[in-house]
Amino acid sequence: MASVFASIVQAPEDPILGVTVAYNKDSSPIKLNLGVGAYRTEEGKPLVLNVVRKAEQLLVNDLSRVKEYLPILGLAEFNKLSAKLILGDDSPAIQENRVATAQCLSGTGSLRVGAEFLAKHYHERTIYIPLPTWGNHPKVFTMAGLSVKTYRYYDPTTRGLDFQGLLEDLGAAPAGAIVLLHACAHNPTGVDPTVEQWEQIRQLMRSKGLLPFFDSAYQGFASGSLDTDAQPVRMFVADGGECFIAQSYAKNMGLYGERVGALSIVCKAADVASRVESQLKLVIRPMYSNPPIHGASIAATILKNSDMYNEWKVELKAMADRIISMRKQLFDALTAKGTPGDWSHIIKQIGMFTFTGLNSDQVAFMTKEYHIYMTSDGRISMAGLSSSTVPHLADAIHAAVTRSC
């Protein structure tokens, strides 16, 4: 008898995670994976931060620790410290108890919980996301029941920000619409607004009553400074208005597989925050009941201990600095080769990813001829590069560009 599921069709590979699947099947010794959004050392290996190992050891050695369920909203200490990390030590919103925070399953889970909450409790069901954005964003918001529209963000001709287009599209959005903003290190383009541009975006959004939903996946990982990377979020919170913030510790603490994140909702008043928090529990309980304890305990241990916190900041800056150095090395290599075109966007963009400007045909050529794997939109993970692999990548880009000139 045939399976009741016989009619199910084979789903396509995830466009980002599928890159790694293809890479793993390649037996070439020179293969290079620039698709994965995870930090690698100069030797191309995954990195566990020393401070994370220390925190983990402390937890393991503490025999009073148990494996009981956390509350629905997670580890209270972690939630407090996470809100403080993104909003600042002296945030009036925290002091006035206007922030409702839930520990969630990394950035994706934080986005999903926030989206589910909005679909249930907010009057406007449309969310505007930048074009382009992380491939999972439209899926997360659509699955939660929101209607997804886009606003202009990236200008392929300058390989920079289409600021005028952004202002026009947000200006035309209906009052009250939700707007997804990348707090820093925009994925996939690496193009961020300046502080002055952020201020214009804030003024426009507040004048139209648009609701900001920040995705903060790279705090400290972009510039090397936790405070600098949080500045756009803090600008929106400083005006007393409301906003949503999804945080992830995957990149900045290297806790990818621990799924450590938080959703903070900044409200206008403490009593509102209290009611919002009560409704967040009703979103989370039937979804996954409560979050895992281990990764959040690692993060909280680091955030609450001043010595460990400072050690983390040093290790975090070292990761950010290595990525910045890879940008310079790749730019210098392409310049030395005389590769046609302007490649200055490589050093102007920030964070883990560079939007190279390569098209899907050029990407396919580089994969076939040079065994270099990346997403078809030409996004490369700078964190996957090393001094020893930059020349190989520069050769491949040069060949791909001159071949199609």
pLDDT of 150-179, one tens digit each?
999 999 999 999 999 999 999 999 999 999
Per-residue model confidence (pLDDT) at position 76: 98
- H-type alpha helices, 88-221: 92-95, 106-121, 136-143, 163-172, 195-208
Query: What is the pLDDT at residue 1?
Result: 85
Decide the pairing of beta strands 154-155 and 160-161. Answer: antiparallel
Give every residue of the chain whose pLDDT is below 50, as ranges. Answer: none
Q: Which residues contact 205 (CB under 8 A, 6 or more apart)?
A: 170, 179, 212, 236
Q: What is the pLDDT of residue 152?
A: 98
Of the candidates 134, 162, 192, 343, the residue annotated as catalytic is 134
Is 169 part of the annotated catalytic residue set?
A: no
* Residues 76, 73: Cα–Cα separation, whole Å: 8
Indicate which residue of 169, 192, 251, 343 is catalytic. Answer: 251
Residue pair 24/30 in contact (Cβ under 8 Å)? The answer is no
Helices (H), 41-189: 50-61, 76-87, 92-95, 106-121, 136-143, 163-172
239 is catalytic: no
Complete domains list, the chain, with CATH? 16-47+319-400 (3.90.1150.10), 69-304 (3.40.640.10)
pLDDT in tens, 372-402: 999 999 999 999 999 999 999 999 999 999 9
Which residue bears the tokens 């890479």? 23
Tokens of 109: 């889970």
Reading the block at residue 127, the tokens are 């969310």
Active site residue 251: yes
What gap in Å lies between CA 107 and CA 118, rounded to an integer?
16
What angle, rounded to 10 degrees, do the helices at 76-87 and 226-238 form? 90
How many whole angstroms separate alpha carbon 317 and alpha carbon 381? 17
User: Active site residue: 215, 229, 312, 343, which one?
Assistant: 215
Q: Is the pTM of this model over 0.85?
A: yes
Q: What is the pLDDT of residue 37?
A: 84
Q: How much is the CA Rg of the chain, to the nearest whole Å?
A: 22
